[in-house]
Amino acid sequence: MTITWKYVKELENVDNIAEVESLIEFKFPEDYVNTVKDYNGGRPNPEAFDTDYGKEYVFGGLLSFNKDDIENIFDDIDSIEFFPYELLVPVGVDPFGNYICYDKETFQLKFWEHETGRIEHMADSFTELLAQLYD
């Protein structure tokens, strides 16, 4: 299935990716970086995904690497209340305040549920996550 991206914000400075990597001491996988370069801040369609725990979650969008955008990674890498920063790096959001994240140790994608703090496995790579999206 082909993914279309809505509300893409042109990446203003590709060096912002390296800046974030330096700030969080984490190197993003190439497939994710390439997606950000092409679809920064965008919302995928289809957008539904499953985790090992739940079904039909919604991928609301990628966090933007533009510092002035509303949902940007610079604001979220150190300001989400109760977020387990020692374990995860936020890279996307759902419409309900939950985050799509990289596990710093395994590089797998995880879903962090903000109300319970539950961490759910989503996919082993960003490419795999995108391939699993459905309507």
pLDDT digits (tens, 9 = 90+) for 50-89: 999 999 999 999 999 999 999 999 999 988 889 999 999 9
**What does CATH list as the number for 4-132?**
3.40.1580.10
* Report field, pTM of the whole predicted structure over 0.85: yes
**C-alpha–C-alpha distance, residues 133 and 12, integer Å:** 27
89, 17 Cβ separation under 8 angstroms:
no
Residue 47 identity (one-letter amino acid): E
Q: How many residues does the chain have?
A: 135
The CA-atom distances, in angstroms, between 104 and each of 38, 91, 116, 126, 130 are 23, 12, 20, 14, 19
